[in-house]
Each structure stands twice: as C-alpha cells, then as structure tokens.
C-alpha cells in the first residue's frame, strides 16, 4: 500500500490475559533493556518501524530505543483480552501464545487483522523455526570468529555422533577464541 509506521493511527492487540498482566506497558517509561524487553507495544512498534526485532533493538542507545517513531507508535497500541486466547494460553494441550493485530491508518483504513496462534519457536512451529535458529546462530558466532572457525563449529554441530562424543567442557571450550578445534 506504500504505507509506513508513520501512517498508523492506532493498533489493537487482541491477546491473552498473561500478556496484559505481564507485558502490556503502553504508557510506562522505557528506561532500560528490561523495560523494553517486557513491553509488547515496544516489540510491535519496533517491528513495524524497522521490519526487525533483534536483541540489539532492546539495548540502551540503539536505533529502536532512541526512535521517536517507536516511542510514539508504542503509545498508540492498546491490548484487549480475548477470553478464548486466555483459555488457549492455559490449555496444557496447546499452551499457545496467541495475538492478533488490527491496524487503523490515519486515513481511516482498517487493515485486515493478522492473527498468530503461536510464535516462531513454539513447539507447534518448531520445524519452521529451525532455519531461523541456524541463521541466528551463524550471525552470533560470526561476530566472534573468522569464517573458517564458523565453518568448523557448524561442522561439529551437524555431526551428531561427533558432537555426542564431546565431553561438555570440551564442547564449551570450542567457543574459546584461542582454542584449536580437534576432531574427536
């Protein structure tokens, strides 16, 4: 539609009781990493503003944490409880974490609600999450090791018999920068 987060008038997050009780902080000040990490409005506003939500977005001084747009949008996101979402959240056969967003634009357009029963990483979406988890692992280790070391760590991780042959302390030592990887 050619719209951006600047074009959003308000957002309604249909959610479960635990979300409202624990992370609904529409008007609370976001003074530190923990405040931002425990605010559903901050998470949604960051994603809509920057098309991402990473650990660095919670850090003091980060682009998201200092964004006037994120702060303004966060205050226009309200949570409302959906009783069925609360039931599903507590149901031991489901244990889903459902949320549904309805976005209203400044021009009055109401976008179709987007509902997610379980976030990426939930047991119901485990297979879907695996490529994302691997990409995240690669990103994190690439910040600390050269490509050859990253390739070696990946090789160890994909070789289940070799991996299972490592003692825990030996495996953890693989992540020490000056250690040389030796095949078991």
Q: Which two tokens stand for residue 37?
A: 């990490």
- Residue 80 CA to residue 95 CA, distance in Å, equals 19
- Specify the pLDDT at position 182: 60
- Specify the pLDDT at position 33: 97
User: pTM for the complete prediction?
Assistant: 0.79
Give the distance, in angstroms, between the CA of residue 59 and the centroid of all CA atoms in the same chain. Answer: 14
Mean pLDDT across the chain: 93
- Specify the pLDDT at position 87: 97
End-to-end CA separation in angstroms for the chain: 55
- Please check the confidence at residue 104 and state whether its pLDDT lies above 90: yes
Under 8 Å between Cβ of 8 and 73:
yes
Q: What is the mean pLDDT of residues 105-121?
A: 94
- Residue 162 CA to residue 181 CA, distance in Å, equals 12
For the chain, domains (ranges, CATH) are: 7-119 (3.30.1330.120), 125-173 (no CATH)
- Residue 39 CA to residue 78 CA, distance in Å, equals 12
Contacts of 88 (CB under 8 A, 6+ apart): 16, 94, 96, 98, 117
Cα distances from 69 to residues 77, 78, 142, in angstroms, run 13, 16, 31
Q: What is the pLDDT of residues 40-50, one digit of tens each?
A: 999 999 999 99
Q: What is the pLDDT of residues 11-64, one digit of tens each?
A: 999 999 999 999 999 999 999 999 999 999 999 999 999 999 998 999 999 999
Q: Is 171 helix (H, G, I), strand (E, B) or coil?
A: helix
**Residue 183 phi, psi (nearest 5):** -70, 140
Q: What is the pLDDT of residues 151-184, one digit of tens each?
A: 999 999 999 998 998 899 988 988 998 766 665 5
- Please check the confidence at residue 76 and state whether its pLDDT lies above 90: yes
- Specify the pLDDT at position 180: 62
């Amino acid at each position: 539609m050619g719209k951006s987060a600047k074009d959003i008038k308000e957002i309604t997050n249909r959610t479960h009781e635990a979300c409202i009780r624990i992370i609904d902080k529409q008007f609370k000040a976001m003074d530190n990493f923990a405040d931002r990490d425990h605010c559903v409005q901050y998470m949604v506003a960051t994603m809509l503003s920057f098309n991402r939500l990473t650990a660095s977005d919670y850090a003091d001084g980060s682009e998201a944490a200092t964004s006037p747009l994120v702060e303004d949008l966060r205050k226009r996101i309200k949570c409302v409880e959906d009783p069925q979402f609360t039931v599903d959240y507590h149901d031991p056969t489901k244990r889903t974490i459902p949320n549904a967003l309805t976005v209203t634009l400044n021009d009055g357009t109401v976008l179709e609600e987007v509902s997610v029963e379980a976030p990426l990483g939930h047991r119901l979406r485990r297979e879907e999450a695996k490529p994302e988890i691997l990409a995240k692992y690669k990103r994190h280790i690439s910040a600390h090791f050269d490509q050859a070391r990253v390739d070696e760590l990946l090789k160890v991780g994909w070789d289940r018999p070799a991996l299972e042959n490592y003692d825990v302390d030996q495996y953890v030592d693989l992540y020490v920068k000056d250690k040389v990887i030796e095949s078991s």
